[in-house]
Structure 1
Amino acid sequence: MPSGHHEPEVAATGKPPATEDLLTTLPEGVAVPEGMVFVPGGITAVGAEDGLAREQPVIARQIRGFFMDITPVTVAQFREFVQATGYVTQAEKYGDAAVFNMETGEWYLHKGAYWEFPRGPENGPAPPDHPVTQVSYNDALAYCKWAGKRLPTEAEWEHAARNGSNSRSKYSWGEEIFQNGVFKANFWQGHFPLENTLEDGFEFTSPVGAFGETPLGLKDMSGNVWEWCSDWYLPYGNDPSHFIPKPESEKVMRGGSFMCDPSYCWGYRVSGRSGTTPETGLFHVGFRCVKDVE
């Protein structure tokens, strides 16, 4: 796991793990950074016994309290970083980036696609209040470092999505994606990729925060864009047979995206996970940062 940050595994001693160092509450006098929320520490169960094979088995982790960005990093925020540093993304260096063709149902490398024009210049610029996409894991890492933050570990991300608690619900807010006549996330309605009924109002990305917030105050933890995590994409258990990537070849992505539906990836559930290579930019993948409590 990069950046030297690890969650300690729960010790199998039969004794309750010590929690005094987990920061279950924010220390007195410590301010929450602007645009972030405090995620209380605790013991979390990562994965889902009734989930997809790649989400099993459930594993226990101790998580120290931390700060997390309320929303994914926006196009406007990433532009500020680029203007301040002159940073050039990997997609810009390559001259193309991955876009999904909704008509053919295939991925392809679209010439000229990058974070400002995630579907190519001919499709117009990305709105400033939408999550930035076409940023690789390495690009996301560079932004977080510039901002004095880091990428979350996979366990931190799921702990935050579970509201810093032992909740085992399917989503941060409960069991249903459609509540009281309202969609709770930007995801694919219809049958992917043949039909998108657009019942949630969006074909691609949506403005950050358009679908409400979790009990912790986080937004877009389900759907809109997948989010990079710092871990390598590896099986939780000892059976790697259902895993295609070679060890330490892909980085974890969490949260699902506007392309997810139950027949395709179902990634917008709290336990949903996927991965791709760290140099790859995709038009449905973004990120958010976290910060340690000093």
Structure 2
Amino acid sequence: MKNSIKVLGLSILIVMLANCKSETKEKKRPETNTVKENITSEVEEHAILVNKPDELIAPEGMVWVSGATFKQGAVAGDKMAMGHEKPAIDVLVDGFFMDATEVTNKQFSEFVDATSYVTIAERGIDWEELKKQVPPGTPKPHDSILQPGSLTFKKSKSPVTNLYDFSQWWNWTIGANWQHPNGPKSTIKGKDNYPVVQIAYEDALAYCEWANRRLPTEAEWELASRAGSYGSVYNWGNDVSVLSEMANTWEGDFPVSNSKNDGFELRAPVKSYPANAYGLYDMAGNVWEWTSDWYNTNYYKEMNGQNTVLINPMGANSPFTPNNPLAKEKVIKGGSFLCSDSYCASYRVSARMGSSMDSSLEHTGFRTVVSIDMLTK
């Protein structure tokens, strides 16, 4: 992450991208970026799965997301939409089951108890492996920096003029991990129903492998968030004045002060806010959620204007971020408790961000999905 070298400082960047271990294998899915010349015949030929088959029972804690054809990406009238969200693309997505909430501390604890899994943030850092991801000639950081840890949020003591200088609110913290999300003195005791955080991509995949589930694609995530309302900026409509009632976000002078009008300054327990029309909670705010798609800033532009519809798209073929040429980033969706209207307003449905696969942060978690083919094998 070349840009992060400038804004976070070398030591923070290196550890943020470190912990390079062998990846848990992703569940393979058929290549489905199918494209034909005629959109109408394309849709007609694909037997889109809208309704849940009667013989299938929803897995525990999951709800059905109806399949649909819709425009993925920024909607008309979204003044906060960024270039990497547009122009919107035509997609067709089959129905599937999705976790009603973000994976919780309790659920992740059950996984760890059953498998003895050790997350990225809890592992030591291999400098020889890390050197492959940073610019040639990068000096080896002090051994104290190579200890297990992760990034935690800290308020700025004074107003911020450069919102791209992330070091003003992110702090590298030795001992921070999913059991100690805000640092070694913090705990998740008594917080079983909070979303698990400090989860790197590999950690999420490991959980999915154990639970026989997978991460959603960006298209699936957006379909689920919209819940049948395909022209709205937010998953509850277009009225931003009800934000504090609908989502856990940052309200105030970011990152200096938070009014907590929504009831929380940091993470909130799952189901603290109303569910969307499909019964899904926290599809806006609280914590960012991993998807399986590569983050490529040109994806929407490359896919648009081809007179095609993408069936069950799985995103870009490879990652690309101009300012982070060395990073392999995946798309994260939904925004978090740190999202502010003065910054990115990522509680919007089409909002997206790239996160390095080996990064774990205080505001990042995940939820899983199960497609019909996974239940009928």
Q: Which residue of 2 aligns with 1:214?
A: 276
Q: Secondary structure at the match of 2:370?
A: strand
Q: Structure 2: how far apart are the matches of 1:209 and 1:262?
A: 23
Q: Which residue of 1 aligns with 2:67?
A: 41
Scaled by the length of structure 1, the TM-score of the pair is: 0.92
Question: Residues 170 and 9 of structure 1: is their aligned pair in 2 closer, same or farther, counting only changes over 3 Å?
Answer: farther
* AA aligned opposite 1:119: N
Contact 2:252–2:259 (CA<8 Å) still a contact in 1? Answer: yes
Select the residue among 155, 159, 164 that pairs with 1:102: 155
Q: Which residue of 2 aligns with 1:260?
A: 339
1:28 to partner: Cα distance: 2.1
- Does residue 13 (structure 1) correspond to residue 76 (structure 2)? The answer is no
Answer with 1 or 2: which has the greater Rg: 2
Q: Which residue of 1 aligns with 2:28?
A: 4
Q: Structure 2: how far apart are the matches of 1:262 and 1:224?
A: 15
* AA aligned opposite 2:275: E
Contact 2:247–2:284 (CA<8 Å) still a contact in 1? Answer: yes
Select the residue among 113, 125, 138 that pairs with 2:202: 138
1:167 to partner: Cα distance: 1.3
Q: Which residue of 2 aligns with 1:89?
A: 119
Q: Secondary structure at the match of 2:111?
A: helix
Which of the pair is proportionally richer in strand? 1
Scaled by the length of structure 2, the TM-score of the pair is: 0.73
What are the equivalent positions in structure 2 for 1:199-238 lying under 5 Å apart? 199-235=261-297, 236-238=300-302
Q: Which one is further off, 125-134 or 72-81?
A: 125-134
Contact 1:44–1:166 (CA<8 Å) still a contact in 2? Answer: no
Select the residue among 18, 29, 32 that pairs with 2:58: 32
- Does residue 167 (structure 1) correspond to residue 191 (structure 2)? The answer is no
Q: Which one is further off, 200-209 or 49-58?
A: 49-58
- Does residue 287 (structure 1) correspond to residue 366 (structure 2)? The answer is yes
Q: Which one is further off, 204-213 or 8-17?
A: 8-17
Q: Secondary structure at the match of 1:4?
A: coil
Contact 2:225–2:235 (CA<8 Å) still a contact in 1? Answer: yes
Which of the pair is proportionally richer in helix? 2
What are the equivalent positions in structure 2 for 1:103-118 lying under 5 Å apart? 103=156, 105-118=168-181
Q: Structure 1: how far apart are the matches of 2:45 and 2:344?
A: 35
- List gaps (5 residues or longer) in structure 2: 1-25, 125-147, 158-167, 304-318
Contact 2:296–2:320 (CA<8 Å) still a contact in 1? Answer: no
Select the residue among 186, 197, 200 that pairs with 2:248: 186
Question: Residues 178 and 211 of structure 1: is their aligned pair in 2 closer, same or farther, counting only changes over 3 Å?
Answer: farther
Q: Structure 2: how far apart are the matches of 1:194 and 1:132?
A: 25
1:59 to partner: Cα distance: 1.0
Question: Residues 166 and 80 of structure 1: is their aligned pair in 2 closer, same or farther, counting only changes over 3 Å?
Answer: same
Q: Once the two structures are superposed, what CA deviation does each residue of 1:55-85 show, in whole Å capped at 9, x if it has no partner?
A: 1111111111110000000001000000000
Q: Once the two structures are superposed, what CA deviation does each residue of 1:218-265 show, in whole Å capped at 9, x if it has no partner?
A: 000000000000011013214999853338710110000000012222
Q: Which one is further off, 235-244 or 154-163?
A: 235-244
Question: Residues 214 and 10 of structure 1: is their aligned pair in 2 closer, same or farther, counting only changes over 3 Å?
Answer: farther
Q: Which has the higher contact order (CA 8 A, sep 6+)?
A: 2
Contact 1:233–1:248 (CA<8 Å) still a contact in 2? Answer: no
Q: Once the two structures are superposed, what CA deviation does each residue of 1:30-69 show, in whole Å capped at 9, x if it has no partner?
A: 1111110111112121110541111111111111111000
Q: Structure 2: how far apart are the matches of 1:142 and 1:93?
A: 15
Question: Residues 256 and 99 of structure 1: is their aligned pair in 2 closer, same or farther, counting only changes over 3 Å?
Answer: same
1:145 to partner: Cα distance: 1.3
Q: Structure 2: how far apart are the matches of 1:142 and 1:22?
A: 30
Contact 2:49–2:95 (CA<8 Å) still a contact in 1? Answer: yes
> How many percent of aligned residue pairs carry the same amino acid?
42
Q: Structure 2: how far apart are the matches of 1:204 and 1:162?
A: 25
* AA aligned opposite 1:47: G
Q: Which residue of 2 aligns with 1:128?
A: 192
